[in-house]
Amino acid sequence: MKPTLPPLLIIDDEKNMRLSLEAVMLDEGYRVRSVESAEQALNLLQAEEFFMVITDARLSGMSGYELLDKVRHRRPDLPILIITAYATPKLAVEAIRAGAIDYLAKPFAPEELLHAVARCAERHRLLQDNASLRAYATEPYALDKIIGQSSKMEELRQLIRTVAPTQATVLILGESGTGKELIAGALHRHSQRHDRNYVRINCAAIPETLLESELFGHEKGAFTGALRQKPGRVEEADGGTIFLDEIGDMSRPLQAKLLRFLEDGTFTRVGGNEELRVSVRLIAATNSDIVLSIQHGQFREDLFHRLNVVQFRPPPLRERGDDIVLLAQHFLRQYSVAMNKPVRSLSKAAIAKLSSHHWPGNVRELRNVIERAVILETTGEIRPESLPDFKIEGRLRKDGAITLPPSQSLDEFLSGHEREAILGALDQNHFSLTKAAEQLKISRHALRYRMQRLNINTDQAYDEEPASSSV
Ligand SMILES: Nc1ncnc2c1ncn2[C@@H]1O[C@H](COP(=O)(O)OP(=O)(O)OP(=O)(O)O)[C@@H](O)[C@H]1O
Ligand SMILES: [Mg+2]
């Protein structure tokens, strides 16, 4: 059944349990080795290849947790599942944090175990298939928090590995919830600055007037309320990394100061004269359209170029293919353990529903959807009923998924909307072609052409010459 798959290793000091686990696995076509102690397991692991380990938590001699700890260091890519009779949510969370891939409480249904094993088998196959994934599996932990095996996510992880050790300023652009913060964290953790401070500032969350003093500090008496001197966060980040989230919301005067700071690391505290200098690496992120902000004069173009030394663009979730399911399973594992609910898998129908959604809120939305589903679910697998009605939510959100009515072609659908938008603009502008065109951000000529094409009656519309001659 699974010819290329190495065996799995079972460790249990209770003979009956060991034999029944073996039997279940052999029935499914897995190859199995089993031993009764963690010590024996460690010896075997040195000599042979396994695709996963299933161990009882309590063993005579070294415990399953100690084994987990030892194996994690030697073979970080080897999945370990822990079985225990003494399940508490706290222990479960600890096991997962310590690196167990899954955690089963006795008694459990064989299917629960088989699901977990099948996932590990699948993972092993994927790792075998992909040399770059193999390389990634042996890396330190931060990057493997970024879930996703789509080629775009692979490229992204590769770029993190390449850029992290450099001093380059990084700009991360992406929709809300695509993982910008995760990328920033991974960049710091994989940099040479990883043992120094990582300071994170959300520029949108701090009032404009306070952001400058937050970033660069202030002297005593610099402004009302500045009762004592306060060092800036850039000083706290000296030697490390500063992450400026939502940089698009920074005021222009502060942008100028930041630009100067980026040139040579110098700055003055608010109300101070002394020039200070630090060594800080800057990572900035925004989910707003920065090019538009530059065009509108809200964001300095020179600062943009200075930040944009390396650019990351985490793709929207809807463009990541099977990663949706992978991430859903990841969050499912997390929440079922955290809530200690035996919801182990996603039904086929639930997978189909998740895969067809547009995900305007990206990974964060998916995480929330799975959390909610784990709370609501009363069976062992997530059914579509426990997922939100995405159609309704899509219609509520203007950027939600658009579903074509079955009777229409794409052209008919688009023409319908175009017609509505044009009629709406004409109506709001009392049928002035110039003003309607302005509102629609097209030329008068283009508007006329489109109206003719859509058979919109032009009788009522009037076409006065605009004040400026360029149209
Ligand atoms: N590839 C991923 N693997 C695992 N978890 C992810 C991934 N991408 C995002 N997440 C999780 O999704 C949530 C949102 O991610 P994050 O906060 O990094 O998004 P963001 O791009 O900074 O969003 P915003 O623009 O709204 O601040 C977090 O809980 C994060 O851990
Ligand atoms: Mg964020």
348: its two tokens: 């086929």
Q: Which of 283, 324, 363 to mutate to test the pocket of ligand 1 (most atoms within 8 A of CB)?
A: 363
Domains and their CATH numbers in the chain: 8-134 (3.40.50.2300), 143-312 (3.40.50.300), 322-396 (1.10.8.60), 404-471 (1.10.10.60)
Q: How far is the CA of 365 from the centre of ligand 1 (A)?
A: 9
State how beta strands 217-218 and 281-286 pair: unpaired
CA distances from 332 to 319, 327, 337, 397 (A): 21, 8, 8, 25
Q: Could you read off the pLDDT of 378-407 as tens digits, one per residue? A: 899 999 999 998 876 655 554 445 666 666
Over the range 178-199, which residues count as b (16 or more CB within 10 Å of their CB) and which as e?
Answer: bbbbbbbbbbbbbbebbebbbb
The number of the ligand nearest the C-alpha atom of 288 reads 1
- Counting from 1 in the atom list of ligand 1, the atom nearest the Cα of 363 is 12
Residue where the block lists tokens 């899954």: 102
Tens-place pLDDT, residues 287-305: 988 888 998 999 999 999 9
Q: Which residues pair with 217 in a beta bridge?
A: 231
Of all ligands present, the nearest one to the C-alpha of 362 is 1
More confident position, 308 or 125: 308
Mean pLDDT value of segment 2-24: 88
Mean pLDDT, the chain, rounded, equals 86
- % the chain with pLDDT above 70: 89
pLDDT at residue 392, rounded to an integer: 64
Classify the C-alpha dihedral 441-445-451-454 as positive or negative: negative
Token pair recorded at residue 187:
């960049």
Give the model's confidence band at 125: pLDDT under 50 very low, under 70 low, under 90 confident, else very high: confident
* Structure tokens that stand for 144 in this block: 């493997």
User: Which amino acid belongs to residue 309?
Assistant: V
Nearest atom within ligand 1 for CA of residue 179:
18
Q: What is the pLDDT of residue 467?
A: 45
Query: Is the pLDDT score of 118 beyond 60?
Result: yes
pTM score of the predicted model: 0.59
| Radius of gyration in angstroms for the set of CA atoms belonging to the chain, rounded to a whole number | 29
Q: Counting Cβ atoms within 10 Å, is residue 103 exposed (0-12), middle (13-18) or buried (19+)?
A: buried
Whether 240 lines ligand 1, by a CB cut-off of 6 Å, is no
In 237-361, which residue ranges form alpha helices assigned H by DSSP? Answer: 252-264, 290-295, 301-307, 323-338, 348-356
- For the CA of 175, the nearest atom of ligand 1: 25
Percent of the chain with pLDDT over 90: 51
Q: Is 363 in the pocket of ligand 1 (CB under 6 A)?
A: yes
Number of Cα atoms under 13 Å in the Cβ half of residue 156: 27
Q: Tens of pLDDT along 43-65?
A: 998 888 899 999 999 898 899 98
Q: Given a cut of 80, is residue 260 above it in pLDDT?
A: yes
Q: What is the pLDDT of residues 143-161, one digit of tens each?
A: 888 999 999 999 999 999 9
> Is any atom of ligand 1 closer than 6 Å to the C-beta of 181?
yes
pLDDT tens for each residue of 453-468: 887 777 667 776 544 4
Taking residues 438-442, report their average pLDDT. 90
**Confidence class for position 345, pLDDT limits 50, 70, 90:** very high
